[in-house]
Each structure stands twice: as C-alpha cells, then as structure tokens.
Amino acid sequence: MRSFWGVLACFVCCFDFFAVTEDDKPIQTFVIPHSHMDVGWVYTIQESMHAYAANVYTTVTEELSKAAERRFIAVEQEFFRLWWDTVATDTLKRQVRQLVKEGRLEFVLGGQVMHDEAVTDLEDEILQMTEGHGFLYETFGVRPQFSWHVDPFGASATTPVLFALAGFNAHVISRIDYDLKDGMQKDKKLQFVWGGSRSLKEKQLIFTHTMDQFSYCTPSHLPFSNSSGFYWNGVALFPDPPKDGVYPNMSLPVTKETVHAYAKTMVENIKQRAAWFRTNHVLWPWGCDKQFYNSSVQFSNMDPLMKYINQNSKQFGVTVQYSTLGEYFQAVHQSDLIWEQRGSEDFLPYSTEPHQAWTGFYASRNVLKGVARRASSQLHAAETLFTRYRICFPDGPVAKDWALDKLRALRWAVSEVQHHDGITGTESPEVADMYLQHLTQAMMDVEELLAALFLLPHGLDTSDITGSLYGKTDVDEGLEQHVIVYNPLAWNITTIINTTVTFPHATGL
C-alpha cells in the first residue's frame, strides 16, 4: 500500500550537484527493480493476477533472460506461486531456474505475504514465512537471505529477532515515525544493528537498513515534464489490462532529447539520498505498487538512461548498476564500518505527520481479526492431530493427500490474511470479504478432516489419539452424541467447555 510517501518535504539542496572534486569517488548506485504486489488491499488476488501480477513474472523472466546485467527482486510468494502453478510455461520455468541460479532473480523476504507487525501473532508470522520459504527451498533449493519489510505500518522489534533466527543477513524497514526518520537521515543513522531481544544476545543481532523518505518507490515527479518519472509501463488498469498495451500515465520515453534531463533528475535524487548514508553506496529502489507488468518497456528505457549516466559518470559523480538486494548489502558490508546498535525499542506507533498516528488499525475490522485467530488455532489443532493420526495409523483410512490439501488450503488462508493490508483492516470491503471467504471455506474443509480423524472404523484402537477419557458407559446408541474435546497444546490446561444439547437429559463422562 502506498500513501503519504511523497508528503515529507524534500530537503533544499544547496550544494552544486555537478561539482566533483578530484578525490571524490563516484557514488555507487544500486538500482533494484521490484514490484510492490500487495496480496490484497484494494483488489482481490484474482483481480490482481488478471490485471497485472501474472504479467510481472512473465515479462520479468523474459526481459532478464535477454540481458545479463538486468536484475529483479521477488518479494511476496503468493502471487509468484500462483503464477508458477497456473501461468508459467515450461520455458519460463526453465528461465526462472537459470536466473535464480545466476543470482539475478533474487527472492527476498520469501513469506507468502509481507506480514503486518502490530496485530499479528508470532506463530502466524512464522507460519506464513515457513509456507513461502518451504516452497522456495523445495522448488529452487534457495533460502532468502534478506528481508524487505518496507510497507508494514510501523516496525516491531520482534521482527528483526524472528528474521535473524530465520537466517537472514539483513533487514529492511521503511515506515517509521516521520520525525524520527527525518532526524535519522540528518544524522546518517538510517542503518544500524538491531538487537530486538535482550535475552537472545548475539545470535539475533541483525543489520537493519531504514529506507529514506522516498521509501520503496522511485521519485514520481519529473521536473522537466508533467509525466511521472521512471514508470514507463504506466499505471496498472483494472479490471482488464488494455488490449493495446497502452496504460495510463506512462512516463516520457528516454530518447536523445530527454536522456540528459532524465539523467540529471536521477543523479540529483541519488546525491540527495547519498547524503543520508555513511557509505558511498545508494540503494535506489526502482519500482512501486503494481509495477513491472510490462518489463520490456521498463528496461528498454532504463538501459539507455543508465548507460548515459555511466558514460558521463565523471561529470555526474555517480555510477549506476542493476542490483539485487544482496549485492547492495555485500557492498555495504565490505565497507567494514562499525554500526550503532539499537536495543529492543519498537518503531510503533507509526506516524506520517503531526496528529496522524496509525493506531486505528489495531482494533478495526475486529470480525476479520477474530476469524483469523480462530482459523489459526484450528489449523494448529488439525496439524497436530493429523500428525498424531499418521504416527498411530500410517495406513489409516484418512487419505494423506486429501488431508494435506485441506491443511494446505487453511495454511494459505491463514498466511494470506497476515498481509499488512489484511488482518490490519486497511483493505477494501471486497478484499475483506475475500479473506473471510478463504478462511471460512478452508476452516469448513478442515472441520471435515477433523471429523474424519475421529470417525475411525471399528476395530482400530483409538485410545492413542483420543486419550483415556473416551470411555463409554451404558448408553442408548440411538441417542448417543459425542463431544470431542482436543487440546492441541503441549501442556495440560484446565478450562470450561460450554456445550448445548437438544435433549433434556444428558450424562457426562
């Protein structure tokens, strides 16, 4: 979700951008192509796949395969997996494997979604990361090394701990209090080592990069025209992509006439940002929400622009290169600086301007929040019970694939709703309905699975999984009703279970 990112006033730059002294090394700019693909927010997943998301991966794969210097980072896994399973041809899949092998298509974060950090449970965060990482490892044998948490509304100190323990080498955040960010920019403190947990010591320390005031989008304003900047494929159209490939607000093409003006704009932006960082490297995210659905027109304009800047790098004082996030962090790492350490303080709540604290979402859409929690507990119960079932009855009548399909659907639904425009409640009504529909459908299917696990055929000894309380006394078979209470926790609890029966006499066990 993109909003308010342009609100922060740019600094007035009072030095001459084009004066480079002898011993000034040019600023090394890492242009990181990416598309911010909210798994939800305004449009449903199906609408997004149709309007732009499938085209992102198809065209990125094609365009990266054409030129060795091109790069792309893929962030959320849900869209990628839908594309991989339902759209990608064998040729595209082969190309993807090659690009991943060459490190030119880099999976960062790797969760099904970019989860919210304020209203989610740790277990659900782990679940949605595991679901995405499992797919990446099984499919490509890779594990994401870096996070890209650039849109959640505030940054919790729990997240870097989780990511460090998940094996990440660096963490990227962006939305923090505007005033704080302003100060961090001035003091060159946007990068630090975060130790979010007091008890876990060194093993959870993680290098953290806070995006500057431009956040994850490319500067959208071009001073030399009324077009937006660096978005040559324009703005995605809903519900259908245009037949002729002509989208609204396509940036001015890079031509002989415009290339210098473009270069000047880009270089000014790079220099403005370089002043906020301690090393000579600038992370220049190239993309924004729903970008790169036509990578062909994106790269065919950026290629000559970057070539022009590099040919004139002495004059500009800047070099540019396509890069993955890993390549950027590698360069920063090699600078061998000592970084300030931050403790367990959160960047919550998040404010975009005075009196604009983003706290309403902590409590809004409480029905969705409640269903998401219930679905998560049900998933945990079903997974543990199914595991115990498989151990007790490896050849039992409940078919493994049938059961796993149901569990997977619930894993997806629970993962998906952790999205930062999902459980937060910041999505459109239509998208909230989509999350609810996916959750309730998957819960109903898993209830079927739970029922099947308990309805064991006669002759099987069920005491292992149903426990010792399942004792039957003299009952009229016709009136017999079973209430099964299953505690999926690893410890004993005492609790009251309220059940309603439809007949006047009932005997407890």
Ligand X SMILES: *[C@@H]1O[C@H](CO)[C@@H](O)[C@H](O)[C@H]1NC(C)=O
Catalytic residue list = 151
Task: Scan residues 54-93 and list those touching ligand X (CB under 6 A).
Answer: 55, 59
Nearest residue (CB) to ligand X, 130 versus 225: 225
**Least CB distance to ligand X at residue 291 (A):** 12
Does residue 496 bind ligand X (CB under 6 A)?
yes
- Smallest distance, ligand X to C-beta of residue 127, A: 23
Tell me the two tokens of residue 259.
């290339």
Q: Is 3 helix (H, G, I), strand (E, B) or coil?
A: coil
- SS3 annotation, 61-73: HHHHHHCCCCCEE
Using CB under 6 A, which of the segments 62-70, 325-333, 411-419, 489-497 binds ligand X?
489-497
Q: How far is the CB of 369 from ligand X (least distance, A)?
A: 21
Query: What residues are paired with 209 via a beta bridge?
Result: 172, 191
Cβ contacts of residue 9 below 8 Å, gap of 6+?
none
Between CA 261 and CA 307 the distance in angstroms is 14
**The length of the chain, given as a count of residues:** 509
Closer by beta carbon to ligand X, 38 or else 124: 38
Give yes or no for a contact between 57 and 75, defined as CB atoms under 8 angstroms apart: no
Please report how close the Cβ of residue 51 comes to ligand X at its closest, in angstroms.
Answer: 11
Among the candidate windows 24-32, 97-105, 363-371, 492-500, which touches ligand X by CB under 6 A? Answer: 492-500
Of the ranges 186-194, 243-251, 426-434, 478-486, which one interacts with ligand X (CB under 6 A)? 243-251
Within 274-303, which residues bind ligand X (CB under 6 A)? 294, 296-297
142 lines the binding site for ligand X (CB under 6 A)? no
Question: Which of residues 199, 226, 366, 494 is near ligand X by CB under 6 A?
Answer: 226
Q: Which is nearer to ligand X, 35 or 55 (CB)?
A: 55
Q: Shortest gap between Cβ of 38 and ligand X (angstroms)?
A: 16
Q: How far is the CB of 262 from ligand X (least distance, A)?
A: 14
Q: Helices then strands (H, E): number in the chain? A: 15, 9
Q: Which residues contact 141 (CB under 8 A, 6 or more apart)?
A: none
Instruction: Work out how close the CB of 426 gets to ligand X at its nearest, in angstroms, rounded to a whole number.
Output: 19
Work out whether 42 is an interface residue with ligand X (CB under 6 A): no
Report whether 29 contacts 282 (CB < 8 A). Answer: yes
Check: CB of residue 361 under 8 Å from CB of residue 153.
Answer: yes
User: How many whole angstroms separate alpha carbon 84 and alpha carbon 70?
Assistant: 21
Cα dihedral sign, 278-281-283-284: positive
498 forms part of the interface with ligand X (CB under 6 A)? yes
Using the rule CB under 6 A, which residue among 20, 87, 235, 331 binds ligand X? 235
- Three-class SS state of 170: strand
Strands lying side by side in the sheet with 206-210: 170-173, 206-210, 191-194, 341-342
Q: Strands 105-107 and 191-194: what pairing? A: unpaired
Residues 425 and 365 sit within 8 Å (Cβ to Cβ): yes
* Rounded CA separation 475/501 (Å): 16
- Dihedral, CA of residue 76, residue 82, residue 85 and residue 91, to nearest 10: -70
Residue number, nearest CB to ligand X: 245
Give the residue with the Cβ less far from ligand X, 108 or 297: 297
Please identify, using beta-carbon distances, which residue of 15 and 491 lies nearer to ligand X: 491
Q: Please report how close the Cβ of residue 241 comes to ligand X at its closest, in angstroms.
A: 7
Size of the site for ligand X (CB under 6 A): 15
When asked if residue 312 is in the footprint of ligand X (CB under 6 A), the reply is no
Of residues 244 and 474, the one with the C-beta less far from ligand X: 244
Closest to ligand X by CB, 16 or 240: 240
DSSP 311-331: HTHHHHTEEEEE--HHHHHHH
Residue 254 contacts ligand X per CB under 6 A: no
Give the residue among 439, 433, 419 at the shortest CA–CA distance from 373.
439
The residue among 60 and 436 lying less far from ligand X, judged by its C-beta, is 60
Q: Which stretch binds ligand X (CB under 6 A): 97-105, 160-168, 350-358, 491-499?
A: 491-499
Rg (CA), the chain: 26
467 is a contact residue toward ligand X (CB under 6 A): no
Using CB under 6 A as the binding rule, whether residue 492 contacts ligand X is answered as yes
Collect all residues with Cβ–Cβ distance below 8 Å to 477 and sequence separation of at least 6. Answer: none
- Interface with ligand X includes 248 (CB under 6 A)? yes
Contact residues: ligand X, CB under 6 A: 55, 59, 225-226, 235, 245, 248-249, 294, 296-297, 491-492, 496, 498
